[in-house]
Structure 1
Amino acid sequence: MQPRTPTATRPISWKDDFSISPLYTSSDLDPFGDKNDEIRRCISTPSSSVSLPTPALSGSTSDSSDLNTDESDKLLVKPDSTTHYVPRRVHRIQRHTSEHVALWLTYAVSSVLSLAVVLCFLPLALFQTAVRNHTDKNRRGSDHIPKNDQEWEETKEQITHDEAYYARHWGYSCEAYDITTQDGYVLRMYRINKKEADIKGKRAVLLGHGLFQCSGDFVLNEDKSLAFVLADQGYDVWLGNNRATATLDHTTLSHEDPEFWDWGIKELALYDFTAMIDHVRQATDSDKIAYIGHSQGNAQGFVALALQPEIATKLSCFIALAPAVFSGSLTSTFPIRLLINLDDRWYKLIFGTTAFLPLMMTAQKWLPPRPFSVLAYSMFAYLFSWWDRHWLRRRKVKYFQFTPRLVSSRLIADWLEGWGRRGVCLHLTGSNGSHADLKNRLPSEKVPLAVFYGSDDYLVSGERFIRTFAGYEKYDASGHFIPDPVTDHAENNLFPMLNLIHVERIPDYEHMDTIWGHDNLDTTYPGIFKVLSSSAQWDNKM
């Protein structure tokens, strides 16, 4: 079934009455209650007329459904400073009392067991972080870790969950759009440009976030954030959010029901990725847009291309930062290996069938930002073996107000099955249709692909990934490729719609450094600018 062009949600009413889940409160799951009241929420409308409460309305409706024709085609909704975002009211699925009791007991058991697991690993994580910090402190100032004057710069930023605040603070405009996927999930997108700039005719770039993350991760490096430097280069920058990361809204399902969380990497690819691509194309009146994805953000793009190759006709280029296609050496280490080998029944018992570890959001909501950043950083560093050596450490308190974000337990199960057990992301290998059918669906022109990865990224293997493309030898930056029967000479099987045109292996970089590194202006960004300006296949309208 082909995903249709995404339609808009109903306008948000900030005066609606909302119910509270008996299992967990909406406010505990949703940390976005402090969204700054100055944000302009632009809700695209497919119909000719939409009514809104008078105090909330700014702007007017239009009879045209073309999102790019006039500012009057946008509904600008400005919530009161005293109100907060809460999920829309959707009636829960009617169940028998016994079913409600069973669901409650399942949630209670998984909550207790998952909390016990976290408490077991947290002391180990904190100890490892303390040892690492002590070692780095002794080395700081040496040739290994030079001092960075930026570490002590005064930014005068607030600590908030609001992407729009950071955009405005650094002199950029930010608009929020709510779009709806074919399967009913409401996704929030942000559009960032230089203030007072004419956005008409600009080339559009969409940024996609990684697992447990959200669009905010692209605006946290002050004026050196990827979203801002792209806007400075003259691009129309869009930030995407997958389902459940920025809103808990759905057209018919309540986030309090397990059915809301029944999705994995395939749904993110076929519905979320395509809905965001189509919305940006429609809003900017573009045939093609550029896509930049980090980690899972590019994985869902690759899965979408593998399952629906015709999507390639909508992309001017694909830039993959830390591509999450093949697993790195981390899968053979403790404690990740324990999770990978966990029996499916035990996995569901411990982590449930709804949101994965929702207690993370509860802790993020109620703990002060700095203590929470220490806890969250320690756990992620312990589990995924990435460190802050290339970050400005003063930024960590901001990073972990946008990380973690909610994902489904089924999505984590997909990653454990593909990345963990098979060594490759699900839905990228095997038959996705007959060879003749696939050939007929391929675009006439391949999409330029650029890859940026770190030499010290143990979570994913960029080297295995680029070996799936013909001519990878000229991008051999490490000098120690080993023949791999899984990937060697597989270029006709995985991504025949992509043309590898640029690879950068950045020494000492880890998984998060391609977006959070303090020196990205010298490492990652120049290559991105070059691909966008010289290699991307923009449409004739540009």
Structure 2
Amino acid sequence: MALSMDLVYTPISLVVSTTFLTVLLVLSLCHNVVEAHFKKKDPRDTRSSNVRNSPKNHSRDSSVGSATPLGYGRYEMGNIEYDHDVTNPDTRPNTAFENSAYQPRPVGIRENPFSSVLNAEDLKLVPDLKYYFEEYGIAIEEFEIQTLDGFFIDLWHLKPKGHSNPSKGGHPMLMLHGLLQSSGSFASGGRKSLAYYFYESGYDIWLGNNRCGFKPKWNDYIVKKKDRWNWDMRDLVQYDLRALVSTVLEKTGKEKLTLIAHSQGTTQGFMGLANGETVYDDDFKLLDKLENFVALAPAVYPGPLIEEKMFVRFMSKFIDSPYVFGRCCFLPLMMLMRSLMVGWKLFSFLSYVMFNYLFDWNDSLWDKPLRNRHFLFSPVCISVNLLQWWLSQDKRKSSFKTYSNGIFPDSKTWFPSGGEPAKKQTEMHSNQEKITTDEYPRILMFIPKQDRLVDGERLINHFTNCEPQSLYKIWYIDEYSHLDVLWSHDVIERVGKPILNTIRTNSSH
């Protein structure tokens, strides 16, 4: 019966989703034209902050003609560093040679070194990270690993070119991507990417990808046809994250690693850490596998954009209808277009304008010549069930939109410590109390104020009130948005270096 109904759902949902994408594309292009002609020099959100104990605002003390950031400055209060710097868009490096060949050149003593790094990048659009990293003397080793429920997922490892050793021997870092992305998002900036920076700093870098990716694969002996797309966030935490972490630790011979995640990847991380007692049905404990957890634009609580944007509201209202989005892959036409057009500038441009329109972020802080390259490694295949987990209005499905406080109760302590009680006396959530916070991973969070897709301020308030102070450190960045924590021109200075200066590494691990 289910199979026969799929024969009905599939063609109808294909027509509806094609219409949806067409209208979305037209409106996105119109929005892009308007934004190009009327956008402000300083597009920062000026709304007041809901973060408690926030320092008072300071007036700018830099000239608008300065090559330095327009300064509100940076202030640290407790475990939160408030980054109020505002980049001058007129002086930020935004040009590079529009060539398709790698052409390194000497750097003049008075030249901006970051601009020169950008000029040295190969701007040819090739949807393969190996192509770019081989130019840096770095090979990418590819592993295909099987999850316990039978899906094959991709794990990419950076190592010196020409070396057969599987690991550099440094502290392992596993990087995990956001929704509709691959972990190529951590490396698409080349020499200005977080993956490259951490690698050159001596760390052992692994790029993890969730199930299905660019080409869905599963073990036909384990995964029944009806289950190929019957998965959501709970499966990504229970199976995919576990498989990635276990494989990296097995191949490196280490006891613990650092997990660096963006957006959806942070949801997986926090679910595995805060709800591990209920997620994993055996003796696997994610808490015991991580030395540090770095959350970039953490997606723990929904932001106002989910209710503000017409198309997001449309998806939320109809995501449960098989006649609109089907019951298998989410928007398969989108993946078909990627297979036909990826590597063309037009594809990257259309990807940018559509996501810009949907999620209200822009490229004002990105290095413009690299923008097209960032979209070579997305979108990826995801299930309709996963989008239902994010957006469904059906309260029976306990979605992120309707049930985030049930998954991550903001009035309970997630990481209780007997030696250091939280600021407020609260009930424990799922984890048993530890003696000290050293028994937990060190948690670092980079929260962009411009991000309206998720509610970072609510997460800040939870940690300051309900979690031990020595457990975490937070950076609250005024001018960053959801993807700036990956692709901003100064991401190394404002994200990469603070991470390396703060993470906990134990040589015995």
Residue equivalent to 1:102 = 5
After TM superposition, the structure 1 = structure 2 runs for residues 25-64 of structure 1, keeping only pairs within 5 Å, are: none
Residue equivalent to 1:118 = 21
Question: 1:393 Cα deviation (Å)?
Answer: 2.1
Aligned equivalents of 1:314, 1:179: Cα separation in 2: 18
Of 406, 409, 414, 2:381 maps to 406
After TM superposition, the structure 1 = structure 2 runs for residues 72-471 of structure 1, keeping only pairs within 5 Å, are: 100-136=3-39, 144-152=88-96, 153=119, 155-195=121-161, 199=167, 201-252=169-220, 257-308=225-276, 310-336=285-311, 338-339=313-314, 341-343=316-318, 345=320, 347-367=321-341, 369-417=344-392, 421-422=401-402, 424=404, 427-429=407-409, 438-439=431-432, 445-469=439-463
Partner SS state of residue 302, structure 1: helix
Aligned equivalents of 1:150, 1:436: Cα separation in 2: 47
Q: Is the 8 Å Cα contact of residues 419 and 426 (structure 1) preserved in structure 2?
A: no
- The answer for unaligned runs of 5 or more in structure 2 is 44-62, 66-87, 97-118, 278-284, 393-397, 415-426
Q: Normalising by structure 2, report the TM-score.
A: 0.75
Q: Is the 8 Å Cα contact of residues 258 and 353 (structure 1) preserved in structure 2?
A: no
How has the CA–CA distance of structure 1 residues 436 and 507 changed in structure 2, closer, same or farther, with 3 Å as cutoff? closer
Q: Is the 8 Å Cα contact of residues 141 and 159 (structure 2) preserved in structure 1?
A: no
Q: Is the 8 Å Cα contact of residues 293 and 320 (structure 1) preserved in structure 2?
A: yes
Q: Normalising by structure 1, report the TM-score.
A: 0.70
Q: Is the 8 Å Cα contact of residues 129 and 378 (structure 1) preserved in structure 2?
A: yes
Q: Is the 8 Å Cα contact of residues 450 and 479 (structure 2) preserved in structure 1?
A: yes
Amino acid at match of 1:281: L
Q: Is the 8 Å Cα contact of residues 451 and 503 (structure 1) preserved in structure 2?
A: yes
Amino acid at match of 2:34: V
Q: Is the 8 Å Cα contact of residues 93 and 367 (structure 2) preserved in structure 1?
A: no
Moved more, 246-255 or 394-403: 246-255
How has the CA–CA distance of structure 1 residues 230 and 110 changed in structure 2, closer, same or farther, with 3 Å as cutoff? same
Aligned equivalents of 1:139, 1:280: Cα separation in 2: 42
Aligned equivalents of 2:241, 2:310: Cα separation in 1: 31
Amino acid at match of 2:356: A
1:134-176 deviations in whole A, cap 9, x for unaligned? 2359889976522433522252343122122222122212101
Of 485, 499, 506, 1:528 maps to 499
Aligned equivalents of 1:159, 1:195: Cα separation in 2: 22
Amino acid at match of 1:361: M
1:231-276 deviations in whole A, cap 9, x for unaligned? 1110000000000014421112699944201100110011101110
Partner SS state of residue 191, structure 1: strand
Q: Is the 8 Å Cα contact of residues 369 and 401 (structure 1) preserved in structure 2?
A: no
Aligned equivalents of 1:499, 1:326: Cα separation in 2: 23
1:411-466 deviations in whole A, cap 9, x for unaligned? 0110114676327377334999x969841799971221001121111111222112
1:190-214 deviations in whole A, cap 9, x for unaligned? 1113446774531100000000000
Amino acid at match of 1:167: F
Partner SS state of residue 177, structure 1: strand
Aligned equivalents of 2:409, 2:254: Cα separation in 1: 31
Higher relative contact order (CA 8 A, sep 6+): 2
Moved more, 439-448 or 360-369: 439-448
- The answer for unaligned runs of 5 or more in structure 1 is 1-97, 473-488
Question: 1:121 Cα deviation (Å)?
Answer: 2.2
Partner SS state of residue 151, structure 1: coil
1:363-385 deviations in whole A, cap 9, x for unaligned? 11223621112221111111111
